[in-house]
Amino acid sequence: MRTDARIRVEGTDLTFDAASDQPVLDSALDAGIRLPHNCRGGICGTCRASVVSGTLEADSSVQYALTQRERENGVWLLCQARPTASDVVVRVHAPLPPQPKAADARPQTFLCETVATRPITPRVRELVFALPKTAGFVFKAGMHVEIAVPGIEPPRTYSMLDAPGPDGKPVDGLLRFLIARQAPGAASAWLHETLRPGMVSSLTGPFGTFGLPERVPGPILGLAGGTGIAPVLAVVEEALSAGFSAPVTLVLSVRDRDEILAMDAFSRIARRHENFAWKVTLTREQPPPGTRFGTGRIPDMLHRVHGQLAHHTVLIAGTPGFVDACEACVQALGAAPDRIAVDSFLPADPATPQQGESIA
């Protein structure tokens, strides 16, 4: 990598070299430094930062997440902004995630064999990839990778469904994903209809900083829309396996019973951990009597389940509309903004950020 600038993150001892022809976030990731980020497409706003000294530049048309006022006040998206001075100091707005210990936590590209592809619901398939034996792939629960789809750019991003093992590596070298079929969505159509066991795909990652803060003093509430359950489940299961003892509640929102995901995982975790509870709410079907399902959108039903969230840490993952509505709802119930972690879908076409493929 060409080195054109030295970047320092204010209030930390993090410094790294950066090239003027790539976003600051990519330079940080190349250096093994995790700055807050999620979509890397200018949509989610997780990588917001202010310039303390030095200068940055970016095409304003790709900084979708910024308001006009933020642009005027010198806020940048580090996934889009490039350095234009030799020394730049930035102040990131979101809490810094824990920094990786292993040098192989840097994003890398791996050729992975598809070892299973199976339908989970009418719209969702589970894909399982085997990493090469020699791959030093280390990740944290809640992270995602880019899966290359032939002839389609950019690659699509999907969250790992499982937490890593104690060494930070995928258990048995396998990575599982839930892939929702989008309409229209050429990438998800290819992953559903063309990808078969034995075929080799290019996976790049890991990316993302979705997860729990370093200290979680109180209960955890996880809210997931559809395949957004993947990163939430991975983070929750990792915390419980590490001995987290405060109550953990997970709420999955789907349209009807045909779309219910991961009930087997919920049941398994509930048997192992008495402090774990889960609910499914259906938004387009009245649950029949005798089933354990609720009804209604999460923002409409949450106040009935949780009166106050002032002491909760909240995880939210799903479509941008789902995430925004849930985030507003939990804040109205008292959740502190710095105790809310969100993971929104990445758009299929960066020019039309609302029409997204799922990251989950």
Segment interacting with ligand FES (CB under 6 A) among 2-10, 35-43, 211-219, 275-283: 35-43
- Residue 25 or 149: which CB sits closer to ligand FES? 25
- Residue 42 or 83: which CB sits closer to ligand FES? 42
In the structure encoding, which two tokens stand for residue 207, read together?
A: 């990316």
- Residue 42 or 170: which CB sits closer to ligand FES? 42
Segment interacting with ligand FES (CB under 6 A) among 38-46, 67-75, 164-172, 252-260: 38-46
Residue 273 sits in the site that holds ligand FES (CB under 6 A): no
Residue 38 sits in the site that holds ligand FES (CB under 6 A): yes
Residue 46 sits in the site that holds ligand FES (CB under 6 A): yes
Residue 306 sits in the site that holds ligand FES (CB under 6 A): no
Binding mask 145-184 for ligand FES (x = CB under 6 A): ----------------------------------------
Cα dihedral: 71, 75, 81, 85 (round 10)? 110
Residue 320 sits in the site that holds ligand FES (CB under 6 A): no
Residue 42 sits in the site that holds ligand FES (CB under 6 A): yes
Minimum CB–partner distance for residue 4 and ligand FES (Å):
21
What spatial distance separates the first Cα and last Cα of the chain, rounded to whole Å?
Answer: 31
HSE of 345, CA atoms in CB hemisphere, 13 A? 26
Largest CA distance in the chain: 66
The residue among 2, 9, 3 whose CA lies nearest residue 53 is 9
Q: Vertex 356, ends 354 and 360: CA angle to 5°?
A: 135
Minimum CB–partner distance for residue 266 and ligand FES (Å):
29
Minimum CB–partner distance for residue 23 and ligand FES (Å):
8
Minimum CB–partner distance for residue 346 and ligand FES (Å):
8
Residue 138 sits in the site that holds ligand FES (CB under 6 A): no
Residue 37 sits in the site that holds ligand FES (CB under 6 A): yes
Contact residues for 277 (Cβ-Cβ < 8 A; gap 6+) = 247, 248, 249, 250, 270
Minimum CB–partner distance for residue 42 and ligand FES (Å):
5
Residue 39 sits in the site that holds ligand FES (CB under 6 A): yes
- Residue 47 or 220: which CB sits closer to ligand FES? 47
Figure out which of the listed residues 33, 79, 112, 298 binds ligand FES, where binding follows CB under 6 A: 79
Residue 43 sits in the site that holds ligand FES (CB under 6 A): yes
- Taking CA atoms, 232 is separated from 145, 151, 182, 297, in Å, by 15, 31, 21, 18
Residue nearest to ligand FES (CB): 79
Residue 92 sits in the site that holds ligand FES (CB under 6 A): no
Segment interacting with ligand FES (CB under 6 A) among 27-35, 45-53, 263-271, 325-333: 45-53
Can you tell me the distance from the alpha carbon of 289 to that of 286, in angstroms, rounded to the nearest whole number?
Answer: 9
What is the number of other CB atoms lying within 10 angstroms of the CB of residue 326? 28
Residues 227-266 that bind ligand FES (CB under 6 A): none
Number of residues that bind ligand FES (CB under 6 A): 13
Are the CB atoms for 297 and 283 separated by under 8 Å?
Answer: yes
Give the footprint of ligand FES on this chain (CB under 6 A): 37-40, 42-47, 65, 77, 79
